[in-house]
Amino acid sequence: MTKTDAAALTADLIRCPSVTPEEGGALVLLQGLLADAGFECTRVDRGGIANLFARWGAKGHARTFGFNGHTDVVPVGDEAAWTMPPFGAEIKEGIMYGRGATDMKSGVAAFAAAAIDFVQTTPPEGAIILTITGDEEGDALDGTTALLDYMDREDEKMAVCLVGEPTCPNEMGDMMKIGRRGSLTAYFTFTGIQGHSAYPHRAKNPLPAMARLMDRMSSHSLDEGTDHFDASTLAVVTMDTGNPATNVIPAECRATVNIRFNDAHSGASLTDWMQGLVDEVAQDTGVEIGISVKISGESFITPPGPLSDLVAAAVTAETGRTPELSTSGGTSDARFVQHHCPVVEFGLVGKTMHKVDENVPVDQIHQLKEIYSRILRDYFA
């Protein structure tokens, strides 16, 4: 039997211009390949977002290995800054270029290729499920969450799940993710009274209140880290007045804060803490302060055990490296999957993701397929 070429599949996917929320032909391509290999495929589109559910094997089997990934990509940006066509998948000196080459069409292609070859050569006693979304890089409201909602309705169940995000910072195999920090963004609006800057007593300046609150928040140490997480971080990401005049005290200003937090906190506890500071500063300054919080995801961890051991052993066997079990980095759709089943993440080196001339060494795509193939063999052994 001819083996499925993961690099060729990666190239085909890159040539699909699937910038969020466009499907771009990527899921149509995958569905055709998986269906031809005997996977039962269902489109689970919601809210204008394309999603694909594919299962090989019996529904509801206790040994069901799941994979989660995405085919949507971030925008190209300044196309003139690219030295290679962003959707060309051109190869130069063993390097494949294109948007999504690293994040994460190569990961999807590597697992799909591994799964197709595996079920055709050594059909396992169990099932394999792929959940592929077109909304990981966007708001993520109708992507993996839609797929998980579908699975709940249809009594589909993954026993464990691997997410194919790029996890390695420097070398192939040097890191896998067993959890992620939580993330929230808080938006503040400060409302005072506009006036002449020469007569500040006739106005109520919201800027000192904003500066005071932002200083109190950014100078506070949230924690010193926990067993599996680094210390939580808080960053003031913008402070805006939109005031072009030097002789006018503005009536309003705004600020935004982003917090990445570990398992010592929850989105609710951090919101309560910020609200307490808001109330204190508002009382001290007389400035009205509004706060709106968007929680992108709570922190979570899959404790080291059978699943992380399985993935780590396969990575070591194929790369010679023992991956660090990490919870670093941003958010991923693993934050949704963790409510369904134990989940870990492993994928390529992520140095070029979201960058101009995003690229991946072709041999790493093949290596990733071999790692995923070994994971499947060992899981069903």
CA distance 304 to 161: 14
CA distance 7 to 274: 48
- Exposure of 338 in the CB half-sphere (CA atoms within 13 A): 20
Q: Is 72 a catalytic residue?
A: yes
The total of other beta-carbon atoms located within 10 Å of residue 203's CB is: 17
CA distance 380 to 123: 10
30 burial via Cβ count (<10 Å: 0-12, 13-18, 19+): buried
From the list 136, 165, 252, 358, the catalytic residue is: 136
Q: Is the alpha carbon torsion for 222, 225, 226, 232 positive or negative?
A: positive
123 Cβ contact partners less than 8 Å away, ≥ 6 residues apart: none
Q: What is the DSSP string of 151-216?
A: HHHHT---SEEEE----BSSSTTSEEESEE-EEEEEEEEEE-B-EETT-GGGSB-HHHHHHHHHHH
Q: Is 215 a catalytic residue?
A: no
The total of other beta-carbon atoms located within 10 Å of residue 196's CB is: 12
187 Cβ contact partners less than 8 Å away, ≥ 6 residues apart: 254, 255, 256, 291, 292, 293, 294
CA distance 18 to 216: 42
From the list 72, 103, 165, 345, the catalytic residue is: 72
Does an H or E element contain 69, and which?
Answer: strand 64-70
374 Cβ contact partners less than 8 Å away, ≥ 6 residues apart: 314, 317, 318
CA distance 128 to 8: 22
CA-based nearest residue to 102, from 369, 376, 357: 357
Apex 354 CA angle, 348 and 359, nearest 5: 50
Q: Residue 2 to residues 118, 120, 137, 208: CA-CA distances in angstroms?
A: 12, 10, 34, 69
Active site residues: 72, 136
